[in-house]
A and B are shown apart, each in its own frame.
Chain A
């Protein structure tokens, strides 16, 4: 059996796990990431939602998410943001620096939150957006063209156009037109994105779109403009068309989330972090209040991993960090105490503005992100919890999923080898 020893073991390769690994490496630690799958980051919008709406008026977009989080923590000290307030700003800066240095910059909006169009024609508030998605001055546009691909079954320009009129604050004289283009063949978002990186294919698209354009038109595409984070498809399209070109948010698989994952993985490689994908942690060894190691299985091999600090970034139900049985919810690796709710796990209304209770389930932690029990006692000293594993946030309605992942991952990385690993030294 293979033996591995590392300072910091990160379990999970979603946004929080990758941020934790990056920051731990920054602290000079030896870091190993093991992950079962490719994480929920690839399913996400690729934007960093921090906080979407006003606490007092949940229908109103909040124009200063950082300030709103300060107020949130006052009224809801159980929210994961309460544990990371001290590092929130620096974590965002750290993230932005990594992305900018990798040639995949994220930008903030002068209005605090961006209001970015989705494929359904809604607009969603988000804090950091990749350049290809950051639609500037939607409200001043005189004309918008929504372009879809005949080969793609997950994007409908007419749906976007029709609903955008109802959901966005557009200029009174703004015209929205739609256009279907074709590249031929049977394509999914990834294969289409890959094809678009070929100049001949891109020129063919430009030829089809150009006649439908007037000066100053904003052009919206599904999020398939290039498979690689360093591809220049969106910029080349904009140059070729002579108009600003943007990708809108869409259901998975969508490329922006996948590109962000590529950027972070490449950064980790540079930092000397070892990443093993397709590797499931099947058991943990615990002595007293410390994790002394885990067993991981992948590619037919079994590994015994010993680490000073373990960062648990295994996600919620979707990621597999939590498992639900009849009337009982368990944390998958350490069987840590899970905070649920007293009443029903779900709301009768699928789209309830208060969100579904099960999305708030997770682990409770102290300010060092160590898991605690119902009495506030630390259960495992050298295990830190991040991202969707944490209890208390209802990210789908609060619009804070990637924000919480980013900040908690950053803090866990920063703390690794500090307070937590003292236990087994």
Chain B
């Protein structure tokens, strides 16, 4: 069996795990991140992309609200290319308790958020889709954030400092000796090859899977798995994040991202951490509630629905669903269970991932005798794209294409522009909906974490637009056929990709999306006979 050696193994390739890897790397601690699928394939790509101001939690959880506000400011600074600083609104509709407003305003002020009330007419002028029956509205510093980009920023930054990541790799055993962790055994999910990684510390940042990981070390850790379903609309419905001004509930957040809007979420306890199947009944419930703010909601085109599992943690396990704290907990298993070198970080939310990583690495660094301070709040994830480079990009990809690629690629944008300048055929737009060029696809395909069309999608947004991959998935397959890693079974590559898209299209299968689905079946069955392909 192949072996490897590092100081720390981080389990889980979501926002928290990649944030931890970066923090370790910036403090000079060697680390390997192990992820069972692709980076962000779990909860970190299955949320509404809201960078909280904290206002949503102010009444119930002051500490969480303060943390959100602080982290929101930090992320805007260190990850400007990942954040759309559009601001947020809290609006009240008829039927919402008017008395709640004063409590909410006071709680926000206590947390330092300072909501500013705006005139309802002014609100409607700027956001005409909102219903005219809205009674009050307040501005807060919410923003939209791109989870994929933040993760990639973390990973690329960590790699520059020597960190390693292994995707499609599952931890199959945690070895210990005399009450101390000695390493982990991992299995490559694509090849079945096993490997041992010797280490001093294991950080369990597996999110919804954290309980399964703890069990490998013989420990009990109960994570509440709370499924939330969301709907993506093919329109920018409003100019700011819109929250419902009432105690947090289902279907009361709209987050515009570029040209689309995400409405979420539902809340339902599930047993399986991989339970990400959105159901039509959940979509109907979201629409029903969403209509209270946006009366014409169902007439806007929906692209797909998706679901993620919130890993919630409640010491004592008394509460469920919305009642469970959104706070995070750092569990030192040396103190709790007498196992040295094993730490779990559970609960929390995307907005506070950096803080979670900082607290976790503070503990681990102290145990390892490293006294360098955390630098993740100071050093930007990526250097800003120079104007001269952006101008060169515009010549090869067009203005909107270059802007999108620069935001997505960060530090890698320079290499992609250079490739496209040298080989004009790479300038072709493969995904017309999201403006992803062949140059960008070829670039990410060469990353060692790319094995499937879905990996390309998560890194570039290829296939995430209006056509949901009908055209660009076939093109991408064609362009990648020359790489060894993509030379395998084409039916499997393509059908896995199309099937995952299908999973999200089915719950919104009416209107334009049914038309699009018919085109998709016409192409892949009627023209390509793919249902009988070998």
Contact = CB atoms under 8 A, between A and B. Distances in A.
Contact of A154 (B287, B298, B474): B474
A419 interface: no
A194 interface: no
Contacts of A359: 518, 521
B506 A122 contact: no
B128 interface: no
Given A167-B533, A251-B474, A122 B481 contact: no
A356 B502 CA distance: 12
Interface stretch (A3-11, A392-400, A406-414): A392-400
Interface in B500-534: 501-502, 506, 509-511, 514-515, 517-534
Main secondary structure of the interface of A (DSSP, over half): loop
A250 interface: yes
Interface stretch (A127-135, A158-166, A285-293, A369-377): A158-166
Nearest to A182: B425
A150 B438 CA distance: 12
Contact of B506 (A53, A316, A346): A346
A323 B514 CA distance: 9
A211 interface: no
Contact of B533 (A120, A327, A350): A120
Interface in A299-355: 316-318, 320, 323-327, 345-346, 348-353, 355
A252 interface: yes
Interface in A249-291: 249-252
Contacts of A82: none
A351 B498 contact: yes
Interface of B: 284, 287, 298, 425, 428, 430, 438, 471, 474-475, 477-479, 481-482, 487, 490-491, 495, 498-499, 501-502, 506, 509-511, 514-515, 517-534
A106 interface: no
A153 interface: yes
A217 B533 CA distance: 25
A151 B425 contact: yes
Given A120-B528, A155-B478, A318 B509 contact: no
Nearest to B283: A326
A153 B428 contact: yes
B474 A358 contact: no
A387 interface: no
B529 A123 contact: yes
A327 B428 CA distance: 40
Contact of A124 (B506, B529, B534): B529
B518 A358 contact: yes
A280 to B, nearest CB: 16
Nearest to B471: A251
B522 A158 contact: no
A51 interface: no
A323 to B, nearest CB: 8
Interface in A24-73: 40, 43-45, 49, 52-53, 59
B481 A162 contact: yes
Contact of A156 (B298, B481, B523): B481
Contact of B518 (A44, A53, A159, A316): A316
Given A156-B481, A159-B481, A346-B506, A355 B525 contact: yes
A14 interface: no
A351 B530 contact: yes
Main secondary structure of the interface of B (DSSP, over half): helix
Contact of B519 (A150, A318, A349, A399): A318
Contacts of A417: none
B523 A251 contact: yes
B509 A251 contact: no
A100 B373 CA distance: 81
B517 A356 contact: yes
Given A122-B533, A349-B499, A163 B490 contact: yes
- Ordered nearest first, which 3 A-B pairs have the shortest CB separation? A156-B478, A396-B525, A350-B502
Given A167-B533, A251-B474, A156 B527 contact: no
Nearest to A121: B490
Interface string A237-252: 0000000000001111
A419 B166 CA distance: 72
A163 B490 CA distance: 8
Nearest to A351: B531
Contact of B499 (A49, A324, A350): A350
A272 to B, nearest CB: 33
A351 B474 contact: no
A191 to B, nearest CB: 14
Contacts of B509: 324, 345-346, 358
Given A45-B527, A154-B474, 13 more contacts: A44-B522, A53-B532, A118-B529, A119-B528, A159-B477, A251-B528, A323-B511, A324-B514, A346-B509, A353-B532, A358-B514, A358-B518, A401-B526
A44 B522 CA distance: 8
Nearest to B510: A324
Contacts of A358: 509, 514, 517-518
Interface residues of A, number: 58
Contact of A326 (B284, B521, B525, B526): B284
Interface in A82-131: 118-125
- Best-surrounded residue of A49, A156, A395 (most CB of chain B within 10 A): A156
A45 B523 contact: no
A188 B499 CA distance: 28
A49 B525 CA distance: 13
A150 B517 contact: no
Contacts of A123: 529
A123 B529 CA distance: 7
Given A167-B534, A251-B471, A159 B430 contact: no
A46 to B, nearest CB: 10
B534 to A, nearest CB: 5
Contacts of A151: 425
A121 B529 CA distance: 10
Contact of B527 (A125, A250, A323, A348): A250
B510 A350 contact: no
A45 to B, nearest CB: 6
B438 A153 contact: yes
Contacts of A251: 471, 474, 523, 527-528
Nearest to A155: B478
Interface string A159-202: 10011001100000000000000000000000000000000000
Nearest to A401: B526
Given A156-B479, A252-B523, A326 B298 contact: yes
A118 B527 contact: yes
Contacts of A399: 526, 529
Contacts of B482: 158
A361 to B, nearest CB: 9
Given A120-B474, A318-B522, A345-B509, A397 B531 contact: yes
A345 B507 CA distance: 10
A59 B533 CA distance: 10
Nearest to A61: B532
Given A43-B522, A163-B490, A153 B475 contact: yes
A192 to B, nearest CB: 13
Contacts of A163: 490-491, 533-534
A320 B514 CA distance: 11
B522 A324 contact: no
17 contacts: A49-B526, A122-B532, A123-B529, A150-B425, A154-B471, A162-B490, A163-B534, A166-B534, A167-B534, A250-B527, A317-B515, A318-B522, A350-B521, A351-B524, A359-B518, A359-B521, A397-B525
A122 B530 contact: yes
Nearest to B475: A153
Contacts of B471: 154, 251
- Best-surrounded residue of A59, A123, A324 (most CB of chain B within 10 A): A324
- Best-surrounded residue of A118, A251, A396 (most CB of chain B within 10 A): A396
Contacts of B428: 153
Contacts of A355: 521, 525, 531
B514 A317 contact: yes
